[in-house]
Structure 1
Amino acid sequence: MKSNRRDFLKLAGGGSALALLVGSGWIPTRAWAADDVLHALAPGDSRKEFEAHTIDELVKALGGTQAQLSKDVDLTAPDIAENGAVVPVEVQSNLPNTKLIAIACEKNPNALTAACHIPDGTEPYVSLRMKLAQTAKVTALVQTDKGFFYAERLVKVTLGGCGG
């Protein structure tokens, strides 16, 4: 390959710009691990939440004793998901002082899909797409200053749970 002065200058200029951005901190030199992010958001041992296999274990891992069924937790999910790899789920809490919204499915390898801490003054609403391994109940778990509350919805998966 024949190299000329113009190619050399482009390469040297790009390398210098990259070194400047890395040195100034604009480009991180390492990616955050999931543990780093979880510990930054919720100090303490957050991994136990993701090790829970049932809703009761999840409530205990989050610091509660039991959860009550509540009509003030609105869980929206399709009755039938054509593709288990992409199931849209929305949760709206009408409970006062909502601190956390978690979405879980006991039939997935890890029950907990997401746990979102809700700051004071923020609308307690979460929307995401989750994977379902098979037909199962999706549970929305809400933590308030009065305890844990939940809503459930059965979602039938017709094709390819978890991308298969």
Structure 2
Amino acid sequence: MTSRRTALQQSLAVAGMLMAAGVLPRTALAYNKDAFDAKSVADVMKALGAGAPTESKDVTITGPDIAENGAVVPLGAATTLAGVKQLLVLVEKNPNTMVAAFNVTDAVEPNFLTRAKLGQSSDVYAVAITNDGKAFYAKKEVKVTLGGCGG
């Protein structure tokens, strides 16, 4: 009978051989560190190599008008634009502006829901970046109440 330890060692050895052969990626980092560390919307666009975003009715952002708990705010981003490669959720007044980045292909419907932490009331953006580097956005103001008391 094979022990759990032996099975794990064998699977790690196989994974190592597959990585060495180039079948598996060496790293699984699928994000742009500079974009996530950016402190403004303009800095995020620059880090991603996109142009200045233009407002569009083909991009939508959903979220509450008033968030009782800023630690868990449900947000949604969607677009009907063709040729979108990324869909972003940005919070203007957060210490790090980019909250989420979703890579989009033709096999993926560009409609995503996530939860974000908002430290204070802020404008929230959904930004769609197309294959040619153009950026389109929708904006919504989300008010955060402190302790659910209003504010």
| Structure 1: unaligned runs, 5 residues or longer | 1-12, 29-35
**One-letter amino acid of the counterpart of residue 157, structure 1:** V
Q: Does 1:66 align with 2:57?
A: no
Runs of 4 or more, structure 1, over 3 Å off, are none
Identical counterparts, % of pairs:
39
Quick one: which of 149, 153, 156 aligns to 2:136? 149
List aligned pairs for 1:71-90, cutoff 5 A. 71-90=57-76
Q: Which has the higher helix share?
A: 1
8 Å Cα contact 1:85/1:160 also seen in 2: no
Between the aligned partners of 2:28 and 2:97, the Cα distance in structure 1 is 19
Residue aligning to 2:24: none
**One-letter amino acid of the counterpart of residue 88, structure 2:** A
Residue aligning to 1:31: none
Q: Does 1:107 align with 2:96?
A: no
8 Å Cα contact 1:87/1:132 also seen in 2: yes
Normalised by the length of structure 1, the TM-score is 0.74
| Structure 2: unaligned runs, 5 residues or longer | 16-26
Normalised by the length of structure 2, the TM-score is 0.80
8 Å Cα contact 2:78/2:126 also seen in 1: no
Residue aligning to 1:158: 145
For the pair shown, which has the larger CA radius of gyration, 1 or 2? 1
Query: How many residue pairs align between the two structures?
Result: 134
